[in-house]
Structure 1
Amino acid sequence: MKTLSNFTKKAAAVMLGLACFAQIVHADTLADIKARKKVLIAVDLGAPPFGMTNAKLEPQGSDVETARALAKDLGVELEIVQVTGPNRVPFLMTGKADMVIATFSITPERAKVISFTHPYGASQFVVAAPKGTAIKSLADLNGKRIAVVRGNMQDSLLTPLAPKGATIVRFDDDATVTAAVVSGQVDGLCTPNALAAAIARQNPSKGLETKFAIKDIPYAIGIRQNEPELQKWLNAWVDANTKNGRLGQIYQQWVGAPMPDLAQFAAK
C-alpha cells in the first residue's frame, strides 16, 4: 500500500507539472485546429471494442468512430494519435494531442489537471474470470491474482476495495492485461464490461465471464484546462449527438448493447 501511495503521489506531481507546462505553452486550441485543418485525437487502440485495429491494421471501434464523426463535423482532417491508458494525460498535456477520446473516465484526480466535456458514454467496471474460477464477490478475491491497467480507473476502483489476501497485478495497458488472462498468469481481471466481453469473444476457450460489477463510471472527451472555446464547442457537439442518437448508435454498433442512460450523471 505504501508503494502504491508513493507511486500515486509521484504521478500526481508529474501531472501537476505537466499542467503548468501546458498552460505556459497553451494557445486557443480550437483556433489552432481550424488553422491547421487537422485535429489530433488520442485514442487507445488496444482497448476493444472502443479502440482496436482490423486485419489491415486500420483503426476501428466506438471511440475511433466517435473521433471520425467529430472531425467531420469540425470540417477538418483526423489524425489519430495512438495512446495507452497511462499516457493519455501526458500526451494531452505535452501537446501531442488536441484531445483524448479513449473511454477517459471522469475522476476528481484527473479533473485537477485537465478538463472534461459532458459525458458521451459510460462503462460498468466488473471483475471477470474463467467460468470455473470461484469468484462471486470481493471477498472471493482473497488468494487470487487480479489484473488491472496500472493507474487506470480499474486500479483506482479495485485496489481500495480488494481484501488483504488479494494480489492486484498491474500491467501497462489492456493488451498486456488480456495476454496475462489468456496465458493463465492471473486468475481474473477488473475492466469495463464491454472489454471483458470482447476478450471473451476473442478467446472462447477461456470461458471468461463477468463475476460481479463494481461501479458505473461516465467517460468524456479530455482536453487541456483553460480552453473555453474548445470546451464550449465540444459540449454542444456531445449534447446534440447524444440527443439525436448518433453517439448511441455508434456505441450500440461496436459494444453490442444499448448506451447507458447518461442522464444519471448529469448532476455529477
Structure 2
Amino acid sequence: MKRRTVLAAAIAATVMGAGTMAQAQDSTMAQVRDNGVLRVGVTQAPPWYSKDIISGEWTGGLGVSMGKAMAETLGVEFEPVEVTWGTAVAALQADRIDLMFVLDATDARKEAVNFPETPLLYYSLAVLARDDLEITDWADLNSSDISVSVPQATSMDAFLTENAPNADIQRFPGNAEAIAAFQAGRVDAVTLFHPPLIAARQKLGSGQIIVPQPVESRPSSVAVRQESDPAFVNWVNEQIDGYYKSGQTQVWYEEFLSDFGLDPSKVPAIIRERL
C-alpha cells in the first residue's frame, strides 16, 4: 500500500512538473526574464528600424529605441532579430522573436498573434511618385498604365489591392525593396505609410510625396505571441501607453528624423492629436 502511495505521489509530481514547464514555455514574460534577452523583430525600414551598413548594427529608428528602453526596464539585453513585414507573424509563432513594433492589428493577424489594447502610434497612407505623375485621389492610381510597388502581405498591400485593383501592383518582401524598385525606375510610385516615405524622399532627392484622398489614417500596434499567460501583452500595453502619453514616442521619432537630416517640424506627427 505504501509503495502505491509513493508511486502515485511520484506520478503526481511528474504531472505537476510537466504542467509547470508547459506554463513556463507558454509565458513570454517568464522566458524573457529567464533568458535575459528581449528579442525584437527588425527590418530595414527607416524611421522604424535602421541598420548601419558598415557595422551591420541596428543603431536607429523608433522600434530600436523603444525596444532598447523596454529591455532596460526589464533588466535584460536587447536582441534585434531580422525579419520582414511578411514573415514577422510566423517568427512570433515560431518563437524566434518576442515582439514586433509597427505591425497593424488587422483582423487576419489577430487570428495568429496578440496585440495590446493601446495603439503604438498613428500614421497616414501615402505615395512617393514620379515628379511628373498627377495624383490627387487613390482612383488616380487605378490604371494598368501605372505601376506601384508595395511590401507584400501588409495592410498597405491590402488597401492598395482594394482601392487600385487595376494598377500594376508589384509586391516586395519589405519597405527597402519596394523603395529600391521606385529608385531604379521599375515602378512609377511606391505606397507606404508616410514616415518611411519621408526618409526615402530625403535619401533619393527626387519624387513627390502625396497623401491621396480620401485620407487613410490608422493606428499601428505591437504584435506579440498568442499565449494563455497575459502578463507580457499587458506589460507591453502599459509601456507603450506610458510612452505615448508622455510624448516619448514622438520624441524618439523626431530624434531619428533629426539624425537623418530632416526637420521634424515639417514632417507629419505620429501622435493622433497632432495629425
What's the TM-score bracket when you normalise by the shorter of the two chains?
Answer: 0.7 to 0.9
Please give the TM-score of this superposition, normalised by the length of structure 1: 0.82
Please give the TM-score of this superposition, normalised by the length of structure 2: 0.80
For the residues of structure 2 that align with 1:86 and 1:234, how far apart are their CA atoms? 22
Counterpart position of 1:123? 123
Counterpart position of 2:51? 53
| Correspondences of 1:230-249 after superposition (within 5 Å) | 230-249=232-251
Check the 8 A contact 1:125/1:154 in 2, yes or no. yes
For the residues of structure 1 that align with 2:165 and 2:97, how far apart are their CA atoms? 38
Q: Give % identity.
A: 25
Amino acid in structure 1 at the alignment position of 2:270: M
Check the 8 A contact 1:120/1:262 in 2, yes or no. no
RMSD: 2.2
Aligned to 2:41, the other structure's residue is in SS state: strand
Counterpart position of 1:86? 86
Check the 8 A contact 2:24/2:30 in 1, yes or no. no
For the residues of structure 2 that align with 1:47 and 1:163, how far apart are their CA atoms? 25
Give the drift of 1:26: 4.7
For the residues of structure 2 that align with 1:263 and 1:108, how far apart are their CA atoms? 27
Unaligned runs of 5+ in 2: 1-21, 258-263
Unaligned runs of 5+ in 1: 1-22
Please tell me whether residue 260 in structure 1 is matched to residue 271 in structure 2.
yes
Amino acid in structure 2 at the alignment position of 1:230: F
Check the 8 A contact 1:150/1:173 in 2, yes or no. yes
For the residues of structure 2 that align with 1:63 and 1:262, how far apart are their CA atoms? 21
Larger radius of gyration: 2
After superposition, the Cα gap between the structure-2 partners of 1:139 and 1:220, relative to the gap in structure 1 and judged at 3 Å, is closer
Please tell me whether residue 188 in structure 1 is matched to residue 199 in structure 2.
no
Q: Deviations over 1:72-117 (max 9, x none)?
A: 111111111111111100111000011112x111111101111011
Which of 158, 164, 168 is matched with 1:156 structurally? 158
Amino acid in structure 2 at the alignment position of 1:216: S
Counterpart position of 1:198? 199
For the residues of structure 1 that align with 2:128 and 2:181, how far apart are their CA atoms? 13
Check the 8 A contact 1:41/1:99 in 2, yes or no. yes
For the residues of structure 2 that align with 1:195 and 1:40, how far apart are their CA atoms? 23
Q: Deviations over 1:3-62 (max 9, x none)?
A: xxxxxxxxxxxxxxxxxxxx9995111011111111111122x11111111343321111
For the residues of structure 1 that align with 2:273 and 2:240, how far apart are their CA atoms? 11
- Number of matched pairs: 238
